[in-house]
Copies of this chain bind each other. A is one copy, B any other.
Amino acid sequence: MARIVAADDDDGTQQFYSMELNSISSVSDSTLGQLLKNVSDVRKLAVGDETPVHESLNRDNDDDLMRTVPFVLSFDNLTYNVSIRQKLTFRDLIPRRKTEDPEIAQTVTPNTKTLLNNISGETRDGEIMAVLGASGSGKSTLIDALANRIAKGSLKGAVKLNGETLQSRTLKVISAYVMQDDLLFPMLTVEETLMFAAEFRLPRSLPKSKKKLRVQALIEQLGIKNAAKTIIGDEGHRGISGGERRRVSIGIDIIHDPILLFLDEPTSGLDSTSAYMVVKVLKRIAQSGSIVIMSIHQPSHRVLGLLNRLIFLSRGHTVFSGSPGSLPRFFAEFGSPIPENENRTEFALDLIRELEGSAGGTRGLVEFNKKWQEMKKESNRQPPLTPPPSPYPNLTLKEAIAASISRGKLVSGGESAAISTATAATTLTVPAFANSIWIEILTLSKRSMLNSRRQPELFGIRLASVVITGFILATVFWRIDNSPKGVQERLGFFAFAMSTMFYTCAEALPVFLQERYIFMRETAYNAYRRSSYVFSHAIVSFPSLIFLSVAFAATTFWAVGLDGGPMGFLFYCLIILASFWSGSSFVTFLSGIVPHVMLGYTIVVAILAYFLLFSGFFINRNRIPDYWIWFHYMSLVKYPYEAVLQNEFSDATKCFVRGVQIFDNTPLGVLPDGMKLRLLDSVSRSLGTTISSSTCLTTGADILTQQGVTQLSKWNCLLITVAFGFFFRALFYFCLLLGSKNKRR
């Protein structure tokens, strides 16, 4: 096979290619950087070398189709089986008499199910391929299979681009997958949302001004210019419309102008006009040289006019495959002609559904389709889709991609990236991410700040709950005295106050969970490192924690009459801050593993209750049974609790039991004062010391000993609390690493 690049420098390039292929095979496939490298080679052949980034987007269609690099995606005999796991429910665990509901028993069928059965097809750039079928027919599964979102071992069959098997890593670079849900930061404007996407996905070598240009071009292309400065919005904040939101979601995923675009029901939930606008945008994207493949529920007549190829699925089988125009002939020949004026796809779907409900099922239609496909092939004598004549005949896939990049696709960053790789051709240290970790953290933090600054009510609610609890505690424990009773109350105050820090952190659960879904989508295509997210998450939350800490400390410290002066107050602030920090880290970690808010909240509340139980307040350390002592040391509440106790009772000059107060917590406490003085006298004599009514009998240190708070200094407690925070952040990071595989088994 004669390569054009080979004609240029036969020996050298060929050799280089095999070298490169070796190095590639060691990392198993190619990356964007390697693709970019090839750009410089192909670029020389390109007609308009200096084509600015994405000028092509706004060109005329016909003109465009002629000039873009040709791509053909084909898939053969895709088959995907899943074993239906037997769900173990609670009812299996308890013995019970047989009830009269056989339908419940029915649902448990241990078996394998074929979700895709020998699905084949092909499509090319400039076209939209739509997958249709009832829910459960395998629409989404087929899209997932093509988008490489099914684990390798499970899917049988081949997906090829320009005749070459697609490597997973290449696919990640040249494709985009648009999910059904619009997961967007509600308080960012459309423009900001897309700009952040540009910063994450476009190479750092691309100057900011060019990124801005790209965003503006995209806004134009998506037809959302009027909404550009409007916030996305949510239930509480009016924002853009559903159709606009969907287009923004698509915009985020096509910011880098992918060659392959997959969409799962991009029009679901939209009215017909919005749906049409969305598909029109997709058509424009296809015509800029991309392959668009999507599932669609019920395309309207106008939408149908934009689609080039249809695949109808029924229970994993293809029941029709062809152009919208061939639908009437197909069904007429099958024996069920489509009536005049009837929506074709609607009719087809209804027919399929009827067949599914009938005794024979859709087998007849499946067989007819097979015959029809063969017949069509024979009668047309049409060879399978091949790249049409183009300025670049016989390119390998890699070269085609590189050529496409050189023409502005995948927003390569043009000159700089291409040149740098060309000059340093042998050093192939290619980053998997567009930006350095610092820029990622900065950008993520900026976005998160922007989003939360625009909804101050969220912080307001948290501040209010902290201040209100502070106020209640301050007034209930108003200026506690230094008597033995007062000591007991101080302990209660500290236990309650420290738990409050942790409980108020739970209120942030829904926010974290919401963000987690955005995170999963973004990291699915390597928008940024998971670690960057973990860092920025911690950084962004910190300033508000400082504010909350000072607010609570100031409300309670002097009102309750805590000890230590300015330094005591400072430490009190610090330990509260540390509690907030480790509490929010704990909640963040939990938000990484729980599936939904309610469960998360229940778990947080339960675990915090146990933490409190084992903190040392309800039962002293030295009285906790040995088999539970591990839980005592795991209790997050223990450390702040001990820290504030030490902060309070460390003053050696302060006295908590003086003279006759010695009898306060004993049965003798009820005696009159004169009697107690005499008793004190006799005790004093027995002990051979002089204990007057003003002698201090218990200092803070004694109380600490009584409470078993002796193992750690207050600074160590602070350190451990802070360390717990870091520990949970690390756990959160590992959760994110493990939890966002984003692939079917």
In the bound complex, how far is the Cα of B684 from the Cα of A682, in angstroms? 10
On whether the beta carbons of A625 and B667 are closer than 8 Å, the reply is: no
Question: Cβ of A454 and Cβ of B99 under 8 Å apart?
Answer: yes
A101-B231, A475-B625 are contacts. A237–B301 as well, Cβ < 8 Å? no
A354: chain B residues within 8 A (beta carbon): 273
From the candidates B107, B625, B662, name the one contacting A666 in the complex (CB within 8 A). B662
Contact call A454/B682, Cβ cutoff below 8 A: no
**Cross-chain pairs A/B with CB under 8 angstroms, 7 sampled:** A91-B457, A103-B231, A273-B354, A300-B346, A476-B614, A679-B683, A683-B683
Confirm or deny: A570 has a beta carbon within 8 angstroms of a beta carbon on chain B: no
Asked if A103 meets B682 with Cβ closer than 8 Å, knowing A273-B349, A349-B273, the reply is no
- Select the stretch in A432-440, A604-612, A714-722 that faces chain B: A604-612
Write the A589-609 contact mask toward B (1 if CB under 8 angstroms, else 0): 000000001100110011001
Q: Label chain A's interface by main secondary structure.
A: helix
For the complex, give the distance between the alpha carbons of A456 and B657 in Å: 56
Decide yes or no whether A485 CB sits under 8 A from chain B.
yes
Chain B minimum-CB-distance residue to A489? B619
For chain A, residues 546 to 591, give those with C-beta under 8 angstroms from any C-beta of chain B. none
**In this assembly, does A668 line the interface, its C-beta being within 8 Å of a C-beta of chain B?**
yes
Residue in B99, B276, B682 whose beta carbon sits within 8 Å of that of A686 in the complex:
B682
A476 touches B687 (CB 8 A): no
Q: Would A624 and B476 count as touching, CB distance under 8 A?
A: yes
* Chain B residue at smallest Cβ distance from A100: B229
B454 touches A101 (CB 8 A): yes
Q: CB-defined interface of A185-202 with B at 8 Å, one 1/0 digit per residue?
A: 000010000000000000
- In the complex the two chains form, is B276's CB within 8 Å of A350's CB? yes
Would you list the 10 A-B pairs with minimal beta carbon distance, nearest first? A90-B457, A492-B618, A667-B697, A665-B665, A682-B686, A682-B682, A90-B460, A107-B238, A667-B698, A273-B353
A517 at the interface (CB under 8 A from B): no
Report how far A229 CA is from B100 CA in the complex, Å.
10
CB within 8 Å of B: which of A516-553? Answer: none
Contact B231 A456 (CB under 8 A): no
Query: Which residues on the B side are within 8 Å of A103 (C-beta)?
Result: 189, 229-231, 238-239
Residue of B nearest to A356 (CB): B273
Which residue of chain B lies nearest to A239 when distances are taken between CB atoms in the complex?
Answer: B103
Interchain CB contact under 8 A, A618 and B489 = yes
A300 to B301, CA, bound (A): 11
Q: For the complex, give the distance between the alpha carbons of A697 and B628 in Å.
A: 33
Is B697 a contact partner of A666 (Cβ separation < 8 A)?
Answer: yes
| A477 and B619 within 8 A (CB) | yes
Question: Complex: how many Å from CA A715 to CA B89?
Answer: 42
| In the complex, A735 has a CB within 8 A of chain B | no
Interface flags, A246-266, vs B, CB<8A=1, else 0 = 000000000000000000000
